[in-house]
């Protein structure tokens, strides 16, 4: 048997040698054919890059270093936040700033921040879990409460990073396509924006604004609902947008109604901290200006709204702050916004870290055995 194998190898070598001689003859080369390319070859292909070795099992594939532009883009929100905070602090009277801080009952202020975060978590979970339960999988309230609280940690970078964390986690745990879960997340966003539209539509005429402004806001919401009712075929078939049309008009209205408690808690948590620092914004003005601040803080501009919150609050609420001088009024507003941002960051970081490290791994291990629904009508 071994003799036959050796004979076949000899025939193969002779055939390969004959083929190389023929190729060299056709190109007009001498009968001497250069050796096959190897790692030590110094001929024509010496300058060619060697092929990249494939990673063995268990090895991490080597990735190219991130480009400078990508690093700069990720650092931009932090740089912008630092610049805005420096701008606010640069025009402050620090004696007045310290005086504003000294007038606050610190334990009461921190307790209010903790109570606000817990109330916000419960209200947000109540509104959001209804959407995912209808469109994705039978998510339990307690499980989503844990997941939403754990998402506070990535949300410190940006609100939408936390939402992306939830979306990816649900898609993986419930074995649902990522595009579908992202579409359900769009329904969550739609309910939130709908609440803001209604709040603004009420606030504009309440503060002496034109009714045309309210009509324009309500028309934008009605146009969106009309598109949902018409169900354009090209939009309804898109994987990302399909959950929006499956929820339908009635499903969106139910999601909007469930979102109202969350909106009220967030409104109170944005408005009331100013009162700790004698920045007494009346309800009528708060209905107009607080929603602007709420939206600006969630935009992907700066982490946790640092800087953005401070600049906007100084522009909107200076007239409501106590103080004989402009420096004293600006100091009170800056003390309120910076202290509230720091308190929220500490409370949310502690809560998110505790849930992410202690509870979330056990929740992820409980993968459902039933197949996830392909779609539900949230109507």
Interior/surface letters 61-77, b for 16+ CB within 10 angstroms, e for the rest: eeeeeeeeeeeeeeeeb
Q: How far apart are CA 322 and CA 336, in angstroms?
A: 12
Which of 193-197, 204-208, 235-239, 255-259 bottoms out in mean pLDDT, i.e. has the lowest? 204-208
Q: What is the pLDDT of residue 379?
A: 37
Nearest 5°: phi and psi at 27?
A: -85, 0
For the chain, helix (H) and strand (E) counts, in that order, are: 15, 0
**Assigned token pair, 134:** 């209808």
Question: In sequence order, what are the beta bridge partners of 321?
Answer: 279
Alpha carbon distance 266, 253 (integer Å): 20
Mind listing the pLDDT tens digit for each residue in 227-261? 999 999 999 999 999 999 999 999 999 999 999 99
| CA 113 from centre of chain | 22
pLDDT tens sequence across 209-232? 788 888 898 999 999 999 999 999
pLDDT at 373: 47
Which residue's entry shows tokens 């268990």? 58
The tokens for 45 are: 């292909």
pLDDT at 250: 95
Q: Is 157 helix (H, G, I), strand (E, B) or coil?
A: coil
Spatial distance between the Cα atoms of 31 and 36, rounded to a whole number of angstroms: 15
For residue 66, pLDDT over 50 is answered with yes
**Cα–Cα–Cα angle for 316, 112, 321, rounded to 5 degrees:** 25
Question: Mean pLDDT throughout 166-172?
Answer: 92
Chain Cα centroid distance, residue 274: 27
Higher pLDDT, 14 or 115: 115
Q: What is the dihedral of CA 181, 187, 189, 190, to 10 degrees?
A: 160
Per the CB < 8 A criterion, the answer to whether 336 and 273 are in contact is yes
Query: Mean pLDDT for the chain?
Result: 79
How many angstroms separate the CA atoms of 126 and 142, rounded?
10
Q: What is the pLDDT of residue 45?
A: 40
What number of CA atoms fall less than 13 Å from residue 325's CA on the CB side? 8
Q: In the beta sheet, which residues pair with residue 279?
A: 321
**Integer Cα distance of 36 and 197 in angstroms:** 73
Burial (CB count within 10 angstroms: exposed 0-12, middle 13-18, buried 19+), residue 164: middle
């Amino acid at each position: 048997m071994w003799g036959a194998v050796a004979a076949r190898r000899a025939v193969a070598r002779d055939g390969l040698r004959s083929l190389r001689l023929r190729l060299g003859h056709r190109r007009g080369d001498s009968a001497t054919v250069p050796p096959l390319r190897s790692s030590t070859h110094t001929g024509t292909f010496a300058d060619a890059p060697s092929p990249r070795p494939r990673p063995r099992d268990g090895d991490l594939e080597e990735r190219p270093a991130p480009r400078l532009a990508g690093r700069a883009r990720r650092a931009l929100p932090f740089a912008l936040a630092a610049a805005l905070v420096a701008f606010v602090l640069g025009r402050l009277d620090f004696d007045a700033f310290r005086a504003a801080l000294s007038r606050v009952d610190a334990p009461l202020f921190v307790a209010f921040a903790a109570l606000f975060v817990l109330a916000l978590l419960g209200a947000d979970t109540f509104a959001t879990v209804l959407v995912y339960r209808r469109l994705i999988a039978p998510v339990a309230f307690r499980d989503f409460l844990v997941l939403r609280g754990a998402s506070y940690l990535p949300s410190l970078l940006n609100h939408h990073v936390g939402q992306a964390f939830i979306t990816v986690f649900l898609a993986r745990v419930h074995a649902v396509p990522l595009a579908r879960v992202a579409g359900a997340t769009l329904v969550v966003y739609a309910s939130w924006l709908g609440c803001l539209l209604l709040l603004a539509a009420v606030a504009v005429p309440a503060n002496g604004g034109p009714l045309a402004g309210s009509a324009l806001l309500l028309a934008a919401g009605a146009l969106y609902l009309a598109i949902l009712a018409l169900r354009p075929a090209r939009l309804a078939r898109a994987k990302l947008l399909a959950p929006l049309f499956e929820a339908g008009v009635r499903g969106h209205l139910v999601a909007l109604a469930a979102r109202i408690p969350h909106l009220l808690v967030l409104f109170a948590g944005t408005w009331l901290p100013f009162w700790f620092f004698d920045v007494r914004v009346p309800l009528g003005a708060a209905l107009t200006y607080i929603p602007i601040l709420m939206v600006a803080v969630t935009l992907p501009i700066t982490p946790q709204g640092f800087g953005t919150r401070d600049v906007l609050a100084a522009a909107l609420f200076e007239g409501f702050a106590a103080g004989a001088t402009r420096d004293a009024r600006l100091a009170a507003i800056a003390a309120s916004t910076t202290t509230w941002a720091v308190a929220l960051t500490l409370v949310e970081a502690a809560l998110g870290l505790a849930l992410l490290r202690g509870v979330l791994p056990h929740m992820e291990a409980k993968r459902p055995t039933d197949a996830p629904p392909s779609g539900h009508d949230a109507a």
